[in-house]
Amino acid sequence: MTARTASLTVALVAGFGLAGPAPADDIGDAARGEALFGLCKGCHQVGADASNRIGPILNNIFGRRAATVEGFRYSKAFDRAGSKGLEWHADTLHAFLESPRAIVPGTRMSFRGMDDAQERADLIAYLRTFSASPANYPESDPTARPTDHDLDPAILAIEGDAEYGAYLSSECTTCHQAKGGDEGIPSIVYWPEEDFVVAMHAYKTGSRTHPVMNMVAGRLGEEEIAALAAYFAAPDD
């Protein structure tokens, strides 16, 4: 687990225990999840005509603070968890579904938990279909966790690879002009490699702040940053 994943975990879970969040390559199957939802139906409803029953309605759960469904009377335990900052995302739902009482001690939810990570992923994928879709509402909750490219052995083997940097640079040149130019967005061509690496790591760790750059740099591995630096130092080669 890298520093970035750790800080995300702290930010999202705010002190609650955490099972494995769904990584980007492990999204569940919503159709299988629909069948599994049979386990929840006794207490929860979801969909167009859903209402609060024994448990709260599960529409629009992604990105929502826990214990905030209007008109539902929560246990003290859940109210407390919500006010302490528990929010529902793919990772917190995974942890909760694995062991509800471990995450919210004192919850009235009688479900003991779901051991199989794939089943949890399937159920979460099904629930996701009743929350805002990122395709229609780009600001809505992400559906997966970024892959950590530092861990990819194929990329670990690459060092300051300018050809890989040229490919990666296409993400940069949507905004930063490939031929230089400085109009609202700074030029990034012909930088000394070291300066480039320092700047990108500052965005990656968050010590320099800019939402776009923090996001872009955050998912670049060290070798990828080196590759970009090699490419942008001499983009014409």
Helix (H, G, I), strand (E, B) or coil at 145: strand
Is 173 among the residues that bind other proteins (CB under 8 A)? yes
Nearest to other proteins of 132, 199 (CB atom): 132
Nearest to other proteins of 92, 143 (CB atom): 143
Is 178 among the residues that bind other proteins (CB under 8 A)? yes
Nearest to other proteins of 51, 147 (CB atom): 147
Q: Which of 6, 10, 26, 73 binds other proteins (CB under 8 A)?
A: 26
Q: Which residues pair with 87 in a beta bridge?
A: 65
Is 229 among the residues that bind other proteins (CB under 8 A)? no
**Angle, alpha carbons 9-15-18 (nearest 5°):** 55
14: tokens are 């705010």
Instruction: Say how far apart CA 127 and CA 32 lie, in whole Å.
Output: 11
- The DSSP string of 51-106 is --SSS---TT-TTPBTT--TT----HHHHHHHHTT-B--HHHHHHHHH-HHHHSTT
Is 132 among the residues that bind other proteins (CB under 8 A)? yes
Q: Which of 149, 199, 201, 208 binds other proteins (CB under 8 A)?
A: 149
* Positions in the binding site for other proteins (CB under 8 A): 24-29, 125, 132-139, 142-147, 149, 152, 155, 163-164, 166-168, 170-171, 173-179, 181, 183-185, 211-212, 214-216, 218-219, 236-237
